Copies of this chain bind each other. A is one copy, B any other.
Amino acid sequence: MAEATRILLDESRIPHNWYNIVADLPVPPPPFLNPATSRPVGPDDLASLFPAELIAQEAGAERYVPIPPGVRDVYRLWRPTPLIRARRLERALGTPARIYYKYEGGSPSGSHKPNTAVAQAYYNAREGVGRLVTETGAGQWGSALAFACAQYDLECEVWMVRASYDQKPGRRSLMRLYGATVHASPSAATASGAAVLAGDPGSPGSLGIAISEAVEAAAADPGARYALGSVLNHVLLHQTVIGEEAIEQMAAFGETPDMIVGCAGGGSNFAGLVFPFLREKLAGRMSPVIRAVEPEACPSLTRGTYAYDFGDAAGLTPLMKMHTLGHGFVPDPIHAGGLRYHGMSPLLSHLYELGMFDAVAKGQRECFAAGRRFAGTEGIVPAPEPTHALAEVISEALRCRETGEEKVLLTALCGHGHFDLSAYDGHLSGEMEDFPLPQERIDAALAALPAP
């Protein structure tokens, strides 16, 4: 298949297991803590939020978790996803590097998010939950969960950050088309939301506020549970289908990656791609450089601190040890809404501390230029989030042009940009801003970290 451009796999090749990297770590990740007691969180602490199976997965240490047939049956609608060699981009760059991308944008909602949304909806439905509650920023996660709930006849209720609710009506409509109820956040429907509105009736909201509202709404209804689209261990676990398929597809190309690059916000896309490759690397079967790319405006890995912090703005979640800019940190309004989160997945943060991957931060102008270059050659318009990874891949490919190295570069194109075209307008008109982040803003947010 040396001449191939796309490797497609038959649906029989959908992985049968998710991969849990915790089983292969030299040091286990630090536990979540109950903020009231400072003691490790147990299953009972989470029972009002998640179904038992997901709580078990969150704390699990088994290397492989079987994917239930009822989940694989829905995955078949779009999985396995293609692995594509970006031959036309390579040619345009004049690079001897070979560039591969795993494309997740062909899913029903257009991103990688349904990989975990389907699993979460499945387990909730199986345990008799009637309603799933969540938050969403720009709407990638909310629309994935709404799709998944429609597959298992679950009600779905979404708190969508007000700024996106007003500016991104397409994703709002998509959630409703799948049958979900969508609230603008902050809303008067929760105490957390009402408190924000009391102080600022015109508040544009934030992901942290929306999480607080969804957690509160789920906890208040015994028939409902909460669902999170990134950050947590079980979410990263479900995304490993990306990397497992990519390993088989790279082998079909006859290639071993020298560098694997992914964008990282909460971390689920990055982890989904790289965890299976990290297993191979730990076992000595390959030795790729592994790199996360985050936005300059929200650099939790490269400029945050590694400390216990809350996952939401109001402090309703357990404390998680993670790279964080502080739970009160509000990122500047970059277009990559999926990367605007103050923290990084605790599991990924732990791996970062162990030196298992490195990270760089990029300004959005470079990223959108990379996205435009990609669209003009490969055709697919990338969502703003994966343009961060593409910018790094292009940099590396251009370095290879200088050195003559025939490096094998692999990235995940985790979503298409057909919902994000207005963001490209700013790039095309030359009016897009970078948001360099002054150290004082980070220091101020970190000063409000909960006491250790």
Residues in B whose Cβ lies below 8 Å from that of A425? 169, 173, 176
Report Cα–Cα, A386/B82, bound state, in Å: 25
CB contact list, A76-108 vs B, under 8 A: 76-78, 84, 88, 106-108
Report Cα–Cα, A428/B174, bound state, in Å: 11
Docked-complex contact A379 and B147, CB < 8 angstroms = yes
Docked-complex contact B421 and A177, CB < 8 angstroms = yes
Docked-complex contact A170 and B422, CB < 8 angstroms = yes
A424 within 8 A of B: yes
Report Cα–Cα, A381/B377, bound state, in Å: 26
A279 within 8 A of B: no
A178 within 8 A of B: yes
Report Cα–Cα, A406/B10, bound state, in Å: 26
Report Cα–Cα, A223/B328, bound state, in Å: 59
In the assembled complex, the CB of A270 is this many whole angstroms from the nearest CB of chain B, namely 24
Docked-complex contact A177 and B76, CB < 8 angstroms = no
Docked-complex contact A77 and B379, CB < 8 angstroms = yes
Residues in B whose Cβ lies below 8 Å from that of A150? 375-377
A216 within 8 A of B: no
In the assembled complex, the CB of A218 is this many whole angstroms from the nearest CB of chain B, namely 23
Docked-complex contact A177 and B428, CB < 8 angstroms = yes
Docked-complex contact A77 and B378, CB < 8 angstroms = yes
Q: Contacts A4-B11, A11-B4, A11-B5 given: A376-B179 contact, CB under 8 Å?
A: yes
Docked-complex contact B421 and A379, CB < 8 angstroms = no
Copies of this chain, whole number: 2
Docked-complex contact A173 and B11, CB < 8 angstroms = no
Docked-complex contact B174 and A418, CB < 8 angstroms = yes
Chain B, Cβ-Cβ closest to A150: B376
Provide the A372-384 mask, 1 if CB < 8 A to any CB of B, else 0.
Answer: 1001111111000
Report Cα–Cα, A179/B373, bound state, in Å: 11
A6 within 8 A of B: yes
Report Cα–Cα, A428/B78, bound state, in Å: 26
Provide the A196-216 mask, 1 if CB < 8 A to any CB of B, else 0.
Answer: 000000000000000000000
Provide the A59-84 mask, 1 if CB < 8 A to any CB of B, else 0.
Answer: 00000000000000000111000001
Report Cα–Cα, A380/B8, bound state, in Å: 19
Docked-complex contact A419 and B422, CB < 8 angstroms = no
Residues in B whose Cβ lies below 8 Å from that of A76? 5-6
In the assembled complex, the CB of A335 is this many whole angstroms from the nearest CB of chain B, namely 13
A151 within 8 A of B: yes
Report Cα–Cα, A297/B5, bound state, in Å: 43
Docked-complex contact B110 and A418, CB < 8 angstroms = yes
Residues in B whose Cβ lies below 8 Å from that of A179? 376
Report Cα–Cα, A173/B170, bound state, in Å: 15
Residues in B whose Cβ lies below 8 Å from that of A4? 10-11
Report Cα–Cα, A402/B139, bound state, in Å: 40
CB contact list, A137-153 vs B, under 8 A: 147, 150-151
Provide the A21-58 mask, 1 if CB < 8 A to any CB of B, else 0.
Answer: 00000000000000000000000000000000000000
CB contact list, A155-194 vs B, under 8 A: 169-171, 173-174, 176-179
Given contacts A5-B77, A77-B380, 11 further A-B contacts (CB under 8 A): A77-B84, A150-B376, A151-B379, A169-B421, A170-B418, A170-B421, A173-B421, A173-B428, A178-B375, A416-B418, A418-B419
What would 20 A/B residue contacts be, using CB atoms closer than 8 Å?
Answer: A5-B77, A6-B76, A8-B9, A8-B10, A78-B379, A106-B106, A110-B418, A151-B379, A169-B422, A169-B425, A170-B419, A173-B424, A173-B425, A173-B428, A174-B381, A176-B428, A177-B375, A177-B424, A178-B376, A418-B418
* Closest CB pairs A-B (n = 7): A108-B379, A173-B421, A8-B8, A5-B76, A170-B421, A418-B418, A150-B376
